[in-house]
Amino acid sequence: MAPMRFPVVLFDLDGTVIDSGAIILASMRHAATTVLGREFPEERLMAAVGGPGLEAQMEALDPERVDELVRVYREHNEPLHDTLSCCLGMEDVLVRLKEEGRRLGIVTAKRRSTVELAFARLPIGHFFETVVGGDETERHKPDPQPLQLALERLGAPAEDAVYVGDSPFDIRAAKAGGLHAVAVTWGRIHRRERLEREEPDAVVDTAEELLAAL
C-alpha cells in the first residue's frame, strides 16, 4: 500500500470548511455603517478577511476607531453563527480523510471562542486533533507562526503537511512555513485571480478536486 501523500491536513475555517462569507460581509457592512456612517465597496470590506485578524481588518477602515468597530462587528456577527452551514461537500471530505487515517487540524484567524460557536452549530469539531485560533499566537497569517503551532501540537514536520485555505494570506503562510498550499475557490471572499497570483501548489473548485489534490 503506497504511503499517503499528506499525512497531516490543516484547514482554514471561514470560507474553506464553513460557508461564512455572507455573514462576515453582513457584519462588516453593519459595523462600517453603524460606527462610521459610511458604506464601503464589498472588495474593500473583504480585502483583509482571512489574514491578520479582525483588528487589522477594521484598522484598514478607520485606524482611530478599531475597538468600536470590532465590538459592533462581534455583537452583530456572533448570533449569525446559528445560521451557518458547511461548504458544499466538506463534511464528506472530512469523513473521507479521517477514514484514510489523516490527522486534521484547523488554523484560523477566528478567536477560539468564536470557533466554538461554529462547532456548536455544526458537529464537525471531533474531526480535528488541534485548533489554532487567532488569539493563540503573537503573529498571524500570512506569518507561518499559527501553522507552526498546529504542527508542533501534532508533532508533525512541515513536509508531511498541507494547508487548505481560501485567502491569499493562507497561501503565503503555507509557503512561508514549508507546507504544501492548496487554494479553494468556493469561499467567495477572494477572487480566483487573487489566489492564483500567490502561486499555490493547487487551486481547486470543488470538494472532489480537493480530495484529488490531497
**Enzyme catalytic residues:** 12
- Judged on CB neighbours under 10 Å (0-12, 13-18, 19+), 34 is middle
Q: What is the DSSP string of 138-203?
A: SS-TTSSHHHHHHHHHHT--GGGEEEEESSHHHHHHHHHTT-EEEEESTT-SS-HHHHHHT--SEE
Give, as one character, the DSSP assignment of residue 135: T
Q: Is 10:164 a contact under the CB 8 Å cutoff?
A: yes
Phi/psi region, residue 68 (left: phi>0; alpha: psi -120 to 50; beta: rest), is alpha
The Cα-based distances of 40 to 33, 73, 101, 108 in angstroms read 9, 15, 45, 25
Beta bridge partners of 86: 18
- In the numeric block, which cell numbers belong to residue 92? 464528506
